Structure 1
Amino acid sequence: VMGRLHTLELENFKSYKGKQIIGPFKQFTAIIGPNGSGKSNMMDAICFVLGEKASNLRVKRLNDLIHGAPVGKPVANKCHVTMSFEDDEGKMRSFTRSVSGAGSEYRIDSKVVTPQQYNHELEEINIFIKAKNFLVYQGQVEQIAMRNPKERTQLFEEISRSCEYQADYDRLKAEMIKAEEDAAFNLNKRRGIAQEKREAKMEKDEAEKYQMMKDDLAAKQRQMYLLQLYHAEKSATSASEELERKKLIVEELMKKKEECDEAVAVKQREHKKLLKEVHKMEQKTLEKEKEVTTQKPRYVAAKQEVVHVKAKLETATKMHAAAQRSAETHEKNVLALKDKITEVEQKKIECEEKLAAESQSLDMQLSDAQVTEYYALKGEATKRCGVLDMELNKLLQERETDRNALQFEQRRLVQASERVKNKESEIERNARQAEHLSENIQSQTALLEDEKKNLRHLENQVRESKEKLEKVAVELNEVSRQLADAHGDTAESERNRRRNEAIDSLKRVFPDRVYGRLVDLCQPSHRRFQLAVTKVLAKNMMSIVCDTDETARESIVYLKEQRLPPETFLPLSILDVHPINEKLRELTEPRGVKLVFDVIQCNNPVARKALQFACGNALVCETAEDAKYLAYGSASDRYKAIALDGTLFQQNGVISGGGQELKVRARKWDENALRKLKERRAVLMEENQQLHRTRKKELDVEMKRNQLVQLEQRIKYTKNERLKVENQTAKRLEQELETLNGELAVIQPKIDEIEQRMAERDVQIEKLQKKRDSVTDEVFRDFCRRINIKDIRQYEQREMRFHEEMQEQLKKFDNELDRLKNELEYLKSDDKSLREKQEAEKVKRLAKDLVDLKKKEEREHKKLKDLEAEYEQMKMEIVAKKAAVEDSECEINVVKKNAQQAAREVSAEEKLVLALEQAIVRRRNERHSILHSCKINGVEVPLIRGSLADVDVDEQTPTTSAEDASQPSQPTPEQMDREAKITINFKSLPEALKELEDEEEVKRAVEKLAKEVADTQALISRISAPNLKASERMEIVKEKEAETTEECETARKKARKARQLFEKVKADRYKRFQECFEPVAQKIDEIYKQLSRNESAQAFLGADNMEEPYLEGIAYNCVAPGKRFRPMDNLSGGEKTVAALALLFAMHARNPSPFFVLDEIDAALDNTNIGKVASFISERARLDMQLVVISLKEEFYNKADGLVGIYPQPANCTVSGVLTLDLTTFKQSHLDSSAVD
């Protein structure tokens, strides 16, 4: 036993407030308590006192370890933890670590020490804080098992302390490798110097032979350059003489050209004057057209007013006719009523006369005595019936009153019925009028909709024309601007015109067979590629692409027949096209390199084959240097390359530059675009004129709108009329009818009431009459018997009935007269003549308005006709003036042709002059080039006057190669003047070579000499140039050899020493590592079996690198009892925990610490595994180690020797209380009871 943890003293540490002493700790102590009580803080206290860093104690700063500090209320300004440790001799030692301020203080037995001394003393008792061989944190058991092999290796290095050798190991290993590399380098250097020594000897032998060949080469070069210089000077002299003669011819032609140009200028001034006149006339015509356009709506408006007033007049005439018919009918009705009244009055008079005559004839003849007696009896009867007569008379008067009232009401009823009937007729007429107006509105509305549709159609046409006109105008302006910017309005040359006519004719004669010129079928993707593409396409650029060779032959025949210039054709059917090398598209160096074929846009897919034929696999580069690199940079891979400036490098070594001619040919791309722009402008101008003609329909739109407005006004007026008829008039008539019906409804009840009252009164009268008749009969009884009548009433009734009948007939006449007079009064009150007069006045007014509007229409129409006539006259004048302009243009064309012919003659002669000048310059440049080559190549040319020093040689820049320097730059005039003073001595040149006249003969002679020079140069180039200082070089090589030998030996000794030092450190590191690893590897299987309580369980621990295990990983695998082998990842949580514990206990057995602290290692264990682990720990505790375990499971901590209980106390923050319990007495009691049993 190496010692044991005795007690812990905590003061204000985390949740442990105040000073608390925990312990003494047993061999197997379990710390228990609820979650959050402070168990893990106990673990942190142990780690803290053993020197753990704050970051591993679950705090950011050491001050946070003070109780209450995390909540901002520390109970003190410091805290400490003291561990009392009892060694194997029973001696107690204390290790104290405290926190004050922001730092820690370490004490051993109350003596302050440094952290290093503190850690050293802990390591002396086998407690290593870095390796943590004394504790397992909560939740880290499985992580220990799941560490990767490299992490396990690191763990073993820390435990074995072999990592202390790692820095020396790495340093010595690096020094050994470097020393061995230096030794190998010196050895190779020594071998190289030996080879150099052999080469120096060979150079000395070749020097003399090389010098002889160089002398021969110089003689041949001198003769070749003299031949070239002689004939260059001779050609320049003859060209100068011819140039003087041509200049005189050009002067004469220029005078003729100036005369023609002056004639063209005169004609153009006359033409411009005519154009100005045409422009003025067109302006006046436009103004006149505007007047016509303005006058047309006025005329249409006047015409529409006539139509409108005419329609109103027709309607008013119809209304007047209807009113007149109504008035005539009314007058007839009045006259008829008057005649009827007169007729009834006459009949009444006749009836009165007839009744008077009948009354006299009906009177009875009584004697005077009888009459006297009658009146006497009548008086007596009256006396007797006095009261009854009074009542009877009263009733009779009332009946008469009611009868009069009844007759009045009956007359009212008849009159009201007549008025109702008339009002219903009027309502019916009003309804017919409203129906007529509705039909009129419906027909006018349908007409309005049709006209609106027509108007919308016209408006759409005009709007579309406007929109299209705007777009066309914008595009036309843009095209014109582009043409102006590119000077595209310049006249087309005669040659280009004929070439364009040729291709147009071929495409027309051979449609779908001739596709066009290659320049028209494609274009560079960007302007910067134009020069390069033009250079690559070369003569194929203007070639015509067709489908077959047969088409090409037919086209050639056609061109000959039409006397058109010859053309080159590219028949697609017979072109031999090489495939594109796809590898070239993957080139990244130099930067920006592309296939020429890829930078050209092909407008017609059929032309791709011709384009590929013309381009091949040529590459385009940003600069000439890049192109040269692709062409000649590699001996194996050479490509045809061209720079953006037009410099072309071919694989065979031919280099051709851009120059002005290439730029002129590159303009073809712009000319092609300009030609298309001109064609587009012509199409747009034609479309613009067509749209302007369509836009004149705006006048029709305006006229149609005026018609619609007038039609809508008529509809509105008609609707107002119908509204008035349907609402106001109909409403008024309905109200009047309702009033009349109301009167009828009142009259009839009155009549019924009177009739009922009269019937009741008649009953009363009849009763009184019977009473009176009985009294009267009694008085007249004797008298009636004498005159032989039944009663006196028979006499009186006959007399009275006659009078009553007479009154009844007269009353009928009166009633009829009253009815007719009332009807006459009603007809007179409804005067139809007033309405007829109003309608007549309205017709008269509208007729007058119509006459005035017709006169206005005639005036506007006459004015419109006059304006149109003037407009047509102006148009005819413009046509005549334009004809004069065309005649002027014809005259201009004639004088222009003369001027062009003169210009062509001048141009032709100037071209000859230019050609001669260029020939002279070319010969002079050729002479300069030859002299330049002589100077560069060191060829001594015999001179009479001057020196080759007067020939300038360009200095080479860092980016200019020797090959570039061999191509002289363009000489300046000053250089040419200096070189002209050089006189060459041609005496050494053979006469036979001087007498050569034909250029071909001269060329062949030069080529022959050049071949001899090239052969000699090739022979020299195959022989390495000898070093004339070979002996000096030999001495230098010998000195190097001696120095290298010494350096090689020194490096070899240094390498041997470095390897010896490295091998020693390697052996020490290996020994220390293996002394730890081997026992653990041997012990782990046994411990795993003990933990599993099963001999079938297996654990393996093996190093991946057996020679140096610390450099690579360590594999750890376990086979659980009763299960097959599975990787550690696939084991259950409990199995991983057991495996981790086996590794921990095996490592602890090799390098045991005095105590072992485990935090909740049983969290992932089931009851079975808990029992196994607890039993194993109990056994180990009894044997060779002290264990402190934090646990929450009773199955585990019930096997402990002592318990430390942690519980929370009530407070604002967590405050932990501590209880301890010694279980050994209980275990002993249990053992004693078991023994007794």
Structure 2
Amino acid sequence: MGVLHTLDLENFKSYRGKQVIGPFKRFTAIIGPNGSGKSNLMDAISFVLGEKATSLRVKKLGDLIHGAPVGKPVSNRCSVTLNYKEDDGRMRSFTRSVTNAGSEFRVDGKVVTVQQYNHEMESIQIFIKAKNFLVYQGQIESIAMKNPKERTALFEEISRSCELQAEYDRLKVELQKAEDDAQQNMNKRRGIAQEKREAKLERDEAEKYQHMKDDLEREIAVQRPLYVQVKQEVLHVNTKLETSKKTLNAAQKLAERNEEQVEVLENNAKELERKKAEFEAELESQSQELDLHLSEQQINEYMLLKREVGKKSGLIDMQLNSKKQEQETDKSSKVNEERRMKTWQEKIKNKKLEIERLKKQIEYLAENAEQQKVVLQEEKANLITMEKQVKESKEKLEKVSAELNEVNKQLSDASGDSAETERVRRRNEAIENLKRVFPDKIHGRLVDLCQPSHKRFNLAVTKVLQKHMMSIVCDTEETARDAIMYLKEQRYPPETFLPHQGLDVHPINEKLRELSYPKGVKLVYDVIQCNHPAARKALQFASGNALICETAEDARTLAYGSAGGDRYKAVALDGTMFQQSGVIGGGSHELKMRAKKWDENALRQLREKRAQLQDESNTLHRTRRKELDVEMQRNKLTSVEYRLKNMQLEKTKCETDTLNKLTFELESLESELSVIPPKIEEIDERMVEREREIKKLEEKSHAVADEVFASFCKKVGIKNIREYEEREMRFHQERVDRMREFDNELDRVRNEIEYLRSEDKNKKVKQETDKVKNLEKELEALKKKEAKEGKSLTRLETEMEDMKIAAMEKKTEQEGYEGELAAAKKEAQAAQRDVTSAEKAVLALESVVSRKHADRHALLHAAKINQIQIPLSSEADGSQPSNSNNLSQEQIEREAKIKVNYRQLPDNLKELKDEEEVKRHVERMNKEINEAQSTLSRLNAPNLKASQRMEEVKEREAETTEECEMARKKARKIRGYFEKVKTERYRKFQECFEPVSQKIDEIYKALSRNASAQAFLGADNMEEPYLEGIQYNCVAPGKRFRPMDNLSGGEKTVAALALLFAMHARNPSPFFVLDEIDAALDNTNIGKVSSFICESARNDMQIIIISLKEEFYNKADALIGIYPEPAACSTSGVLAFDLTPYKQTGLNETNTSIMESTVVNP
């Protein structure tokens, strides 16, 4: 390898003019006082090698010209030429100049580019970026104090593996992206496969649901006619019972009043006949007394005079007529009041009975309303619970989805989503089953129960635990034997068990925890985290008192020790284990694979968590389907609220309107009854007083009439005109009217007597009483049957409503119609109470017929709305129930033609007569319905489009499979490129690092002149060392291990030199330039370092040092002296002195001639 021969400087910094420095020997020392320009010579070497201005202690290259820092440059350029002498004696020159245009580079006098210049430098093993051959003033210690990442960067520059860093990073990003895409496609493919399985299950469930739905509809079709028939019978019997009760009450009242009325009517008839006879006799006598007959002319004259009288006595007649009308009114009022008194007494009695019935009805409504309130509260609570469940399910589903995405990301990042092998799956299945079969006895595998505290301990811990890593920890030997038998029965692979209660464990040697040498030694037990109490004893049994060390050398020292010393089982971080017996176990590929179990444990836990989250997500998805149930529950709640509201409105109406009205009417009747007698007395008084007034007015009227009719009366021979009017004109009319009244009253009384005598009321009462009892028995039996049939049908209809949500609206409308119908019935009943008892019987019969038609219409209408096919007889096929709720006479006649056909009803059900038999059949049908409901309730809401979804999933599966295959091929291709670059980068780095790490300990021992000195150089990442840091530690002779920053300045200098010379040994450069590396060295270390440099210089290495210490530079082959020259600007002079002759004679005197370097002035 060639050497640096001379340096040609021209106006470079403190070197004015052109100066030639050299020749440089193998070991050349540059000396001179402080400030003379020694470091400027170092800058000149760096400058010509291509260093930047910032490393040359100037802001810009122009400041390198002599005098430029003080504003007086001696020239517009400066240059430095390095004359390099090859091994064959051939000289090469490298020149770098500073001009106005910038830097100029020349090789052997030829101008070249900076790239060509660097290439030529690299051809002689000079890599300026590495700077492993240039140590500036004060930097020697910083080399030793570099952090691990900086050391890695230094090795990357020396090995030139940094040239592949950009390509490596690019391919790594592409590979990561490609693998992420492949993993994403794989996950997508798995998701589609899962969706395909779910779609298949949904399709199967949909088909199963359809079959069950058809069966349920057929069962409902059979059950509903039975229920409709029973309900019709109940309504019919209930109506008959109600009518019979009313008829019975009316008959009883009529029977009681019948005898009284007949007796009263007979007396009235006798009295009327007597009065009629007296009236006829009176008329006869009056007729005989009056024998006055007027001619037509007289009658006309009478009429004229009468009008004249009317004109003269009009006001008096008006007053008289008014008084008479009032008198007649009071007479009628008196008669009416007397009649009213009897009527009111009867009405008061009836009102009291109505009030009593209304109070019972209010109590019944109140009781039902309370029951509906309880049902309403229960339904509200159920709705709140269901809404809360749905809301919680949504929130939890979002949280679970986020966790699932995070777990999938972690698995993807760790490449842990690969499929498990069958053997691993079986072993995992075995441990899970053992935990299930032996709860609280089988704790798990040791590898699952503990974890190294740091990844760098994985290999060492794996080596110590060895076969016990996969051992199963249990409580007792008995449990272990039972578990082994279980594994044999289930044909699982054999397993090793560690029963912690029966293990013979050696206690921890506490003295081992106090060991301070070698540095970093620890108990293996202490670097393993174990939070499971039962596993600690098993872990102690497996690890024992083994020690873990940083390096294999430390482990060897602890295992073999010094003569007579203690020996311990020790393992290095790389997995090399030394036992006291001398057996050595090294790291291997198999050990590394076993160490991955610690990572696989975490991955397995992630997989288990993912499976758990997926199950939870599926469960929550099913829970979200309860939204349909929530909607149906809301409809059900609305229906209950509607019924409760109607009941409350009806109850309120009865209390506030009907009852108050009846009470008010009763009070009014009683009040009116109490005022009738005083009214009669008051009328009598008014009539007496008015009679006197009438007589006075009549006298006045008579006076006027007598005056006008005086001549007329004289002609006809009567005393006054009133005699004629009273006797003749009114006689006939009064007789006719009076006789008609007698005849009408007698006919009415005779007819009423005949009617009352024509009916046997007691017999009718007995008949109605028997009829009511029979109807009550029949109604009770039918109600029980209706309740059972209704309960069965309600459950079936509820299932159908779950499947058909739209039916709920129709159901609500139907209930509304029923409520309106009930209200209409109550209004009709209230109206019926106002009629007489006889009319009640007639209206009751009409109401029965009307309600029958209305109930039948409602049932037919409800059946049509709910799409219930009621079997009809052939002659009724043309008649269909109306869609309207209003029932007209035409509709009644049309629906009367509809005949229900009961032929489809099984004969055994038609023949049922005994109530117990009916009950047993109903219970059996209810049981079958419950079983069908139970089966349906276990089904999720089916997706009736599952077949369509299945086809879509198959199409997407094919597309995803193709995308997944393309992504996998792309990832495989990129991985191939990446692995190629990675391998090349690793090769370059290791070719530099491996020799240095092997050589550094030897060099450090040589520099220290002591075999006990130790230097360690190790990569944090053995697989890809360039990605992480490089650790560098030294142990000075006679001292314990200490971190690098705790070493003295001299020790750091020696350590740095060891690293530099080790790196030079692997990648030697032509020369070393060291600036005052001896600043921190004492005389002893100076002697050691100088001796090593002398030896190295003899071994084909050129070393140039700048030093101020004679103990160091007196061993050099040549001296370059730098001295300051007086001038306006700092100027350096150069002297050269060859010490070779004196080294050969052993003299250290400098009495030989000094050769002064040539100075050429510009």
TM-score (norm 2): 0.38
